[in-house]
Amino acid sequence: MKKRFGIRFKLLLVSLSLIAIPVTGYQFIREMETFLRDAQDHNLTTTAQALALLVRGNPALNTDVPLEGALYVHPYQPVIVDGYADDWQDLLPLAQRFGGPDGPRFQVLLRASPAYVYLLVHVRADRPRYIDSASIRYGRSDQVELFLVDENKLPRGYLIAPRAPGAVIAHRLDDDLPGPGDYRLQGEWQEVAGGYNLEMRIPRKLIASGLSIRVMDGKGRSLATDGMTEAGQLVTPSIALNDIIANVDLPQSRIRITNSQGWVLARG
């Protein structure tokens, strides 16, 4: 005897078939997504390996610099030299920090335009101590010393020892003796919560070959970004590496090349 299926059973079969269609489609989409992601990962890995081999094989593209005293220079954004960190907010988490539990502690940020290098030094201090006499005495107050090496490898030392917050004068040092002010260097010193800021604008040609910074707290204690025997290297994004990245065809991708310190040397 032939068994008949009722309308309800037939509707159930149709419903189950309709349910299977989106489930199968979802599974197909997941498999396709996994395939595309794996292919993209493979392309990125291959590109990264090729760039690494290219950089390692070309001494002119060397990405490693001596860690001692090196300072990273960030790409330029407009800066108003007023002694406050308002124009540096995006970089504050990236500041290079120097110092320990004893003695001065400070942070450094640098930005560069084609003509100038902008410097922000934030020093932790309970209460800044200022010069209280007509003559400037080395190491007798809160002071900042800059050691610059220009484009011709000529070293210059400068002492910044203000009598009060506001505009500062960078005094040229001669055997640790402060001399006349060099007004090519412009800056502002401002007291802020937890210490003070020194913000400077320095002609790029005066700082082209290096910079070191020493902070003194007026109590005979000092701390420098290096030994102050020679200027630390300034690390900037590489034009050559940026040109290489510009020729890499990876749609909807961003590439960064960093050195062992994690500093971004090129991006695209």
Is the domain of 90 the same as that of 138? Answer: yes
Identify the CA nearest to 137 among candidates 220, 214, 256, 60: 220
Among residues 255, 242, 237, the alpha carbon closest in space to that of 74 is found at 237
Between residues 7 and 123, the one the model is more confident about: 123
Query: Is position 1 within any domain?
Result: no
* Whether the predicted pLDDT of 183 surpasses 90: yes
Nearest to 46 by CA among 54, 34, 58: 54
For the segment 242-259, what is each residue's pLDDT rounded down to a tens digit? 777 666 666 666 777 777
Same domain, yes or no, for 134 and 221? yes
User: pLDDT band at residue 263, thresholds of 50, 70 and 90?
Assistant: confident
Cβ contact 248:232 at 8 Å? no
Of 249, 204, 212, the closest CA to residue 231 belongs to 212
The token duo for 124 is 């932790």
One-letter amino acid identity for 216?
A: M
Same-domain pairing of 112 and 47: no
Residues 147 and 33 in one domain: no
Counted domains in the chain: 2
For 135, residues 6+ apart whose C-beta sits below 8 A from its C-beta are none
Q: Which two tokens stand for residue 268?
A: 């695209």
Whether the pLDDT of residue 57 is over 60: the answer is: no
Do 155 and 43 belong to one domain?
A: no
253 vs 233, residue with greater confidence: 233
Whether residue 198 is found in the same domain as residue 80: yes
Is the domain of 209 the same as that of 244?
Answer: no
118 and 134 share a domain? Answer: yes
Domain that holds residue 129: 71-235
Taking CA atoms, 82 is separated from 118, 188, 205, in Å, by 12, 5, 22
In a domain, 115, yes or no: yes
Tokens of 248: 């890499």
| Same domain, residue pair 101 and 195 | yes
Q: Which of 49-63, 76-90, 222-236, 254-268 has the highest mean pLDDT?
A: 76-90
User: Are 31 and 78 within one domain?
Assistant: no
Band of residue 63 on the pLDDT scale cut at 50, 70, 90: low
Residue 2 is assigned to a structural domain of this protein: no
pLDDT tens for residues 194-213?
899 999 999 999 998 889 99
> Do residues 23 and 149 both lie within one domain?
no
